[in-house]
Structure 1
Amino acid sequence: MNWMDLLRMSINNLKRRKLRTFLTVLGVMIGTTSIVVMISLGLGLQQAMLQEIEDAGGMNTINVTGIASGESMFYSGDSSDEASEKRLNDSAVAELAKLDHVTSVSPEYDMSVLLLKGGYEGWAELVAMKPEDLKALKLDLKEGGRLPKSNSGNLELIYGNGVITNFTDKSGTNSYYETGELADIDLEKDSVFLVLDQDGYYAAQNTQAFGTTDGSADSGSSDGSQTQKAVQKHAVRACGVIAGDPENYKTGYQNIYCDLDTLKQVLKKEFNGRAIPGQPTTKNGKPYKDFCYSSAKVKVDDQDKLDEVVSGIRSMGYNASTNAEYMESAKKQMGMIQAVLGGIGAVSLLVAAIGIANTMMMSIYERTKEIGIIKVLGCSLKNIREMFLIEAASIGLIGGVAGMVLSYILSAIINFLTGHGAAMGIEGNLSYIPIWLVLVAIAFATLIGTLAGFFPALRAMKLSPLAAIKTE
Structure 2
Amino acid sequence: MHWIDLLRLPLASLGHQKLRTCLTTMGVVFGAFVLAASLSIDEGVQRTIERESSKGDVARKVTVYPGWRSPENEKADEVKVDGRMAADRRERIRKVLADRARRGDSPRWQVALGPDRLETLSKIPHVRQMIPIVGGAVVATLGNRPEGASVSSGAGEDPEFRKRVVVGRPFESDDERSVLLSEMFAYRIGLIDDEDLVQVVGKPLRLEIRGREDGPSFDVSLADRSNAGGGRDEQSALRQLAWQLPGSLESFSLTGEEISALKKAVRPEPTRIDPSVVVDDFRVVGIFRDLTDEEQKEAWSQFPAHSDLVLPRRTAVELAFRDPGRREQGLDHAVLFVDDLKNVKQVVDAVEAMGLGSRSIVEFLDRERLTYLLVFGGMTCVAGVALLVASLGIANTMLMSVLERRREIGVMKAVGAANWQLQAVFVIEGALIGLTGGVLGLLLAWSISFPGDAWVRSMVHQDMKIHLTGSIFAFPGWIGATVVLCTVGVTIVAAFYPARRAAKVDPVAALRHD
Do both proteins adopt the same fold according to a TM-score greater than 0.5, normalized to the shorter chain? yes
Q: Quick check: 1:388–1:457 contact (8 Å CA) kept in 2?
A: yes
Q: Does 1:102 align with 2:140?
A: no
Q: For residues 106-155 of structure 1, give each alpha carbon's deviation from its aligned partner in whole angstroms, at most 9, with x where no partner exists.
A: 456799xxxxxxxxxxxxxxx986366668x9xxx9xxxxx976568557
Q: 2:441 aligns with which of 392, 400, 403?
A: 403
Distance 1:48 1:107, change over 3 A: farther
Structure 1 residue ranges without an equivalent (≥5): 112-126, 142-146, 158-199, 228-233, 247-251, 270-278
1:26 Cα offset (Å)? 1.0
Q: 1:296 aligns with which of 316, 320, 335?
A: 335
TM-score normalised by length of structure 2: 0.58
Q: Does 1:443 align with 2:465?
A: no
Distance 1:331 1:25, change over 3 A: same
Q: Quick check: 2:302–2:335 contact (8 Å CA) kept in 1?
A: no
TM-score normalised by length of structure 1: 0.62
Match of 1:169? none
Structure 2 residue ranges without an equivalent (≥5): 74-101, 137-151, 164-168, 184-216, 218-223, 253-261, 267-285, 313-319
1:257 Cα offset (Å)? 8.2
Alignment of structure 1 residues 41-440 onto 2, 5 Å: 41-55=41-55, 57=57, 61=60, 63-67=62-66, 71-73=68-70, 83-87=109-113, 92-107=117-132, 130=155, 154=180, 206-208=227-229, 213-216=234-237, 217-220=239-242, 236=288, 254-255=297-298, 266-267=309-310, 292=331, 294-300=333-339, 307=346, 309-321=347-359, 329-419=367-457, 422=460, 427=468, 429-440=471-482
Distance 1:93 1:324, change over 3 A: same
Q: 2-side partners of 1:58 and 1:259: how far apart?
A: 10
Q: For residues 438-457 of structure 1, give each alpha carbon's deviation from its aligned partner in whole angstroms, at most 9, with x where no partner exists.
A: 21011101111111111110
Q: Quick check: 2:130–2:336 contact (8 Å CA) kept in 1?
A: yes
Greater fraction of residues in helix: 2
SS of the aligned residue for 2:358 comes to: strand
Q: Quick check: 2:64–2:336 contact (8 Å CA) kept in 1?
A: no
Q: 1-side partners of 2:404 and 2:487: how far apart?
A: 26
Distance 1:210 1:352, change over 3 A: same
1:49 Cα offset (Å)? 3.2
Q: 1-side partners of 2:133 and 2:2: how far apart?
A: 72
Alignment length (residue pairs): 372
Q: 2-side partners of 1:456 and 1:348: how far apart?
A: 21
Q: 1-side partners of 2:180 and 2:232: how far apart?
A: 33
Q: Partner amino acid for 2:297? A: Q
1:18 Cα offset (Å)? 1.6
Distance 1:287 1:104, change over 3 A: closer
Q: 2-side partners of 1:45 and 1:204: how far apart?
A: 55
Distance 1:396 1:57, change over 3 A: same
Q: Partner amino acid for 1:218? A: Q
1:314 Cα offset (Å)? 2.7
Deviates more, 1:16-25 or 1:311-320: 311-320
Q: 2-side partners of 1:150 and 1:259: how far apart?
A: 17
Distance 1:263 1:30, change over 3 A: closer
Q: Partner amino acid for 1:416? A: A
Distance 1:369 1:131, change over 3 A: farther
Q: For residues 55-101 of structure 1, give each alpha carbon's deviation from its aligned partner in whole angstroms, at most 9, with x where no partner exists.
A: 47487x46142126xx34499989779x41523x6664433222344
1:394 Cα offset (Å)? 0.4
SS of the aligned residue for 2:417 comes to: coil
Q: Does 1:32 align with 2:32?
A: yes
Q: Quick check: 2:153–2:303 contact (8 Å CA) kept in 1?
A: yes
1:470 Cα offset (Å)? 1.7
Q: Quick check: 1:385–1:457 contact (8 Å CA) kept in 2?
A: yes
Q: 2-side partners of 1:254 and 1:75: how far apart?
A: 43
Q: For residues 377-414 of structure 1, give each alpha carbon's deviation from its aligned partner in whole angstroms, at most 9, with x where no partner exists.
A: 11111111001100100001100000011111222222
Q: 1-side partners of 2:382 and 2:65: how far apart?
A: 45
Q: Quick check: 1:128–1:257 contact (8 Å CA) kept in 2?
A: no
Deviates more, 1:440-449 or 1:92-101: 92-101
Q: Partner amino acid for 1:42? A: D
Match of 1:186? none
Q: For residues 421-443 of structure 1, give each alpha carbon's deviation from its aligned partner in whole angstroms, at most 9, with x where no partner exists.
A: 61675745444443322210111
Q: Partner amino acid for 1:208? A: G
Report sequence identity in percent. 23
Match of 1:455? 497
Match of 1:15? 15
Distance 1:57 1:218, change over 3 A: same
Q: 1-side partners of 2:65 and 2:513: how far apart?
A: 87
What is the Cα-based RMSD across aligned positions, in Å? 5.0
1:359 Cα offset (Å)? 1.3
1:322 Cα offset (Å)? 5.7
Q: Quick check: 1:130–1:261 contact (8 Å CA) kept in 2?
A: no
Distance 1:48 1:352, change over 3 A: same
Match of 2:197? none
1:340 Cα offset (Å)? 1.5
Match of 1:176? none
Match of 1:174? none
